[in-house]
Amino acid sequence: MKTIILLSLFLPFAAKAQFTIVNTSTISLVELRQGEQWPITLQRVTKESDTCYVLQFRDQQSANSDIMTTLKFPNLAQLRYFQKGLAALKNGATGDVAKFKDYTIKRVDIKRDGISYILSCGMGSITNFKQREADKMISTIATL
């Protein structure tokens, strides 16, 4: 009898622990390439009181893959480092590299295409984007 009473006291707490509602909001800040074969999107993800920023892109090493790679920036300060790296490379020369803990950005000048950047993540994923796309990211991050 004591067991049944004790069980009835703890059952509501155990049931509540199984189901938690998390308020999550994902806002697309800028879509550099959408609907193309190689989309790139910068998003803000808010979970309760935490806000992080993610850059989603498709790995360009595998042409038939539908898996998106996510480069996560834990806070706005880390995203601003990404912005500063792009801005520094814009004023640099071909072959310049901005190395960070989880990713690397390399500037590559191509005669007919202009300035391009190659983003390599620590997990091996690679994408590239052109100067006009980098400028959109720089200006979007500056407004945050």
- At 120-138, the pLDDT tens digits run 987 778 888 888 988 999 9
Task: Name the residue ranges covered by the structural domains of the chain.
Answer: 21-142
How far apart, in whole angstroms, are the C-alpha atoms of residue 89 and residue 106? 8
With cut-offs at 50, 70 and 90, classify the pLDDT of residue 54.
very high
Highest CATH level, class, for 21-142 = alpha beta
Residues with Cβ within 8 Å of residue 132, at least 6 apart in sequence: none
pTM for the full model? Answer: 0.77
